């Protein structure tokens, strides 16, 4: 427990103090002051730099001119980690594991190169600012999480970070305060115009983004509540779950609700034999609904609109009807798919789908307006990076599921493997109706690391094929037995 407090809770506490001070003081002044002390901690311990990058996941405060917390923290953290790596050879492990690490290099490399195929290269290059953040989350997770204890600390850190975010979100709902940023302008309008209809976004750029993050934290909190040894810790975590749920519900993110349903079905199938029957029935029902809705997009959404509970829930948040929300998604999916077919090999350049997909909208499109991005991360990536970028992205997902599935019955790693399967299924569904979110690069990294941890243990099972010639830390030395 003391190790957790020293290595995991301290960085989160610093982030909590920062968030609290920002509410009452100048965000820039507080960021510079607190950032200086965090930088000193980074110089002392490379793990602080890693956790600082992870902590930027739900924090997307914009200080103006495109300057965000992540765009300041990530370059500094990477520089500090590089200095540590040069001075201390074993302070981190190589992230270039086979095949996941190389699939990541392939995807991010193609993403960067894809801007060369954009109609306006200079404009497309500006969209790449988010790519180093995604890459840092993924590769640093691979580099710093190679033992069960390291995985345990990361999960603790994420859960505490999520609880802090949830508290900020609930305070936002109760008091109506709004942090600066892109989405906040419309949120402020909602507060000024009505006593109801406010969707909380916490420190994220959008309520849906916050929902996607909390969607990951809730299963991790439940996992910790079921596996921690000390009873008081389990009780504390169980008490924190309702706080996370209230914050998540306050986002009114229908896409995350779909992800949560998929997670619930998956959990039933993984943790209960009886639940497998329910799960199979739910999957069959979903497939039938998709087939029906594909031939008549408005049918299934009109059925949902007829459900009084659903209407009252989303009407409180001043959201448009379910049928309207799904309609423009259908139209953008078709437009994005048409854009991909026209540019199937190299794509139109990262971040350029929004500028290119409108001419490919179907003739039956009736929505008055369309989203600024294609609300399907997979179609968006396919249309922007082409097949050469889409294949490694899908490969990362497939390999992550394969690794976790193989470990689902492991005596020590089975619980976290099942939890990550549940999370990834939820994110898979979530991303089918939502653009790219940061936290998938943490969970994909955690899935790969779970496999690496499993291979490092002497469990007398066939290797998963995860190899890394740079593993030199003591915990990765093969065990020997006396003759």
The helix (run of H) or strand (run of E) holding residue 288 is: helix 273-295
**Which residue blocks in 100-206 are alpha helix, DSSP H?**
100-114, 121-126, 131-144, 148-175, 184-193
Q: How far apart are CA 170 and CA 200, in angstroms?
A: 8
- Taking each helix axis from N to C end, the angle separating 100-114 and 131-144, rounded to the nearest 10 degrees, works out to 170
Q: Is the dihedral of CA 342, 346, 352, 353 positive or negative?
A: positive
pLDDT value of residue 473:
36
* Cβ 170 vs Cβ 250: under 8 Å: yes
Looking up tokens 């199938």, which residue turns up? 269
The rounded mean pLDDT for the chain is 80
Q: How many CA atoms lie within 13 A of 188 on its CB side?
A: 8
pLDDT value of residue 234:
94
pTM of the model: 0.83
Q: How far apart are CA 53 and CA 34, in angstroms?
A: 15
Chain centre to alpha carbon of residue 318: 26
pLDDT value of residue 84:
85
Question: How many C-beta atoms lie closer than 10 Å to residue 123's C-beta?
Answer: 14
Q: Is the dihedral of CA 243, 229, 414, 416 positive or negative?
A: positive
Q: How far apart are CA 29 and CA 7, in angstroms?
A: 26
Question: How many C-beta atoms lie closer than 10 Å to residue 420's C-beta?
Answer: 29
Q: How far apart are CA 394 and CA 378, in angstroms?
A: 8
Which residues are CB-contacts of 42 (< 8 A; sequence separation ≥ 6)?
48, 49, 52, 76, 77, 80
pLDDT value of residue 193:
46
Q: How far apart are CA 42 and CA 81, in angstroms?
A: 8
Q: How far apart are CA 82 and CA 77, in angstroms?
A: 9
* Cβ 211 vs Cβ 159: under 8 Å: no
Q: How far apart are CA 460 and CA 457, in angstroms?
A: 9
Q: How far apart are CA 428 and CA 259, in angstroms?
A: 8
DSSP one-letter code for 360: G
For residue 11, what are its two tokens?
Answer: 């960085």
Q: Is the dihedral of CA 430, 432, 435, 439 positive or negative?
A: positive
**Which residues of the chain have a pLDDT value below 70?**
1-32, 63-64, 89-90, 180-197, 276, 286-325, 365-372, 458-483
């Amino acid at each position: 427990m003391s190790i957790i407090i020293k290595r995991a809770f301290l960085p989160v506490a610093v982030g909590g103090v920062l968030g609290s001070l920002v509410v009452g003081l100048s965000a820039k002044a507080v960021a510079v002051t607190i950032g200086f002390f965090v930088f000193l901690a980074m110089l002392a311990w490379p793990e602080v730099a890693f956790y600082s990058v992870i902590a930027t996941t739900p924090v997307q405060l914009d200080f103006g001119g495109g300057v965000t917390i992540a765009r300041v923290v990530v370059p500094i953290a990477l520089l500090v980690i590089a200095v540590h790596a040069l001075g201390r050879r074993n302070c981190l492990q190589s992230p270039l594991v086979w095949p996941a690490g190389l699939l990541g290099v392939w995807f991010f490399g193609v993403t960067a190169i894809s801007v060369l195929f954009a109609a306006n290269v200079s404009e497309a290059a500006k969209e790449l600012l988010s790519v180093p953040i995604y890459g840092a989350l993924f590769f640093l997770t691979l580099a710093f999480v190679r033992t069960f204890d390291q995985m345990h600390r990361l999960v603790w850190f994420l859960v505490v970070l999520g609880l802090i975010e949830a508290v900020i979100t609930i305070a936002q709902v109760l008091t109506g305060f709004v942090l600066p940023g892109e989405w906040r302008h419309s949120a402020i309008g909602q507060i000024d115009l009505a006593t109801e209809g406010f969707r909380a976004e916490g420190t994220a750029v959008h309520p849906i983004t916050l929902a996607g993050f909390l969607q990951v934290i809730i299963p991790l909190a439940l996992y910790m509540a079921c596996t921690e040894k000390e009873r008081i810790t389990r009780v504390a975590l169980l008490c924190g779950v309702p706080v996370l749920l209230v914050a998540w519900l306050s986002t009114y993110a229908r896409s995350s609700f779909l992800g949560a349903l998929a997670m619930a079905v998956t959990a039933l199938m993984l943790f209960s034999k009886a639940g497998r029957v329910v799960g199979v029935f739910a999957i069959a029902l979903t497939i039938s609904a998709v087939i029906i809705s594909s031939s008549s997009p408005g049918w299934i959404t009109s059925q949902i609109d007829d459900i009084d509970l659903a209407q009252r829930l989303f009407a409180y948040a001043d959201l448009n009807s379910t049928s309207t929300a799904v309609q423009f998604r259908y139209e953008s999916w078709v437009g994005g798919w048409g854009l991909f077919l026209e540019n199937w090999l190299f794509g139109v350049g990262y971040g350029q789908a929004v500028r290119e997909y409108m001419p490919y909208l179907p003739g039956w499109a009736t929505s008055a307006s369309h989203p600024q991005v294609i609300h399907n991360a997979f179609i968006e990536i396919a249309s922007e990076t082409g097949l050469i970028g889409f294949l490694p992205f899908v490969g990362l997902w497939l390999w992550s599921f394969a690794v976790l599935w193989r470990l689902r019955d492991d005596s020590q790693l089975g619980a976290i493997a099942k939890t990550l399967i549940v999370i990834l299924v939820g994110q898979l569904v979530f991303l089918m109706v939502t653009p790219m979110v940061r936290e998938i690069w943490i969970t994909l990294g955690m899935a790969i690391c779970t496999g690496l941890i499993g291979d490092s243990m002497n469990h007398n099972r066939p290797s998963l094929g995860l190899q890394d010639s740079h593993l030199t830390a003591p915990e990765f030395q093969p065990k020997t037995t006396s003759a």
